[in-house]
């Protein structure tokens, strides 16, 4: 089941890749970089997500408390706790500014 999903994603990536040059489709970026903690559904109910206490991005209140600019900054520069320990890594070296913006829009769509 999981591998067939991956095949579909890979197929879509090839199709979209022709049009988008090197930028990966947002769903693929989400799957590859973010679902480990935030979950495919954005609820953060994964093993790592629970441990790090990531928020439920389907929750309208959680969504309302987040500002787009902060979401972009958090994804680009990472999130650290008060002691400076990394909670979420910085993605600016792996993802372009446009890809990060798309991911923020993608997260907004989890709101129920
Ligand atoms: C190692 C686990 C981990 C991964 C992987 C991860 N995050 Fe996070 N993320 C966190 C934690 C922990 C927080 C802080 C708690 C929260 O806001 O849910 C967070 C918070 C956020 C926030 C909220 C920032 C704010 O303004 O409150 C955004 C947006 C976000 N992550 C986006 C992403 C995106 C996009 C990816 C993939 C490119 C990603 N995260 C990958 C752990 C992770």
Quick check: 111 pLDDT over 80?
Answer: yes
Distance 97 CA to ligand 1 centre (A): 16
Structure token digits, residue 51:
């441990």
In this prediction, residues 52-68 reach a mean pLDDT of 97
Q: In terms of residue numbers, what domain contains 49? A: 23-108
Number of structural domains in the chain: 1
Ligand 1 atom with least separation from CA of 57: 18
Residue 85: give its domain's CATH number.
1.10.760.10
Asked if the structure places residue 2 within a domain, the reply is no
Q: How many whole angstroms separate alpha carbon 16 and alpha carbon 12?
A: 6
Quick check: 13 pLDDT over 60?
Answer: no
Single out the residue of 51, 16, 13, 52 nearest to residue 31, CA to CA.
Answer: 13
Asked if the structure places residue 68 within a domain, the reply is yes
Distance 57 CA to ligand 1 centre (A): 10
Quick check: 11 pLDDT over 80?
Answer: no
Asked if the structure places residue 58 within a domain, the reply is yes
Asked if the structure places residue 51 within a domain, the reply is yes
Q: What angle do CA 103, 107, 110 make, to 5 degrees?
A: 150
């Amino acid at each position: 089941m999981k591998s067939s999903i991956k095949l579909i994603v890979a197929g879509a990536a090839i199709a979209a890749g022709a049009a988008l040059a090197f930028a990966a489709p947002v769903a693929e970026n989400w799957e590859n970089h973010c679902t480990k903690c935030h979950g495919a559904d954005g609820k953060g109910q994964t093993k790592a997500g629970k441990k790090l206490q990531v928020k439920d991005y389907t929750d309208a209140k959680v969504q309302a408390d987040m500002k787009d600019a902060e979401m972009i900054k958090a994804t680009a520069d990472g999130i650290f706790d008060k002691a400076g320990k990394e909670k979420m890594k910085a993605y600016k070296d792996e993802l372009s500014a446009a890809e990060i913006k798309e991911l923020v829009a993608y997260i907004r769509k989890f709101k129920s």
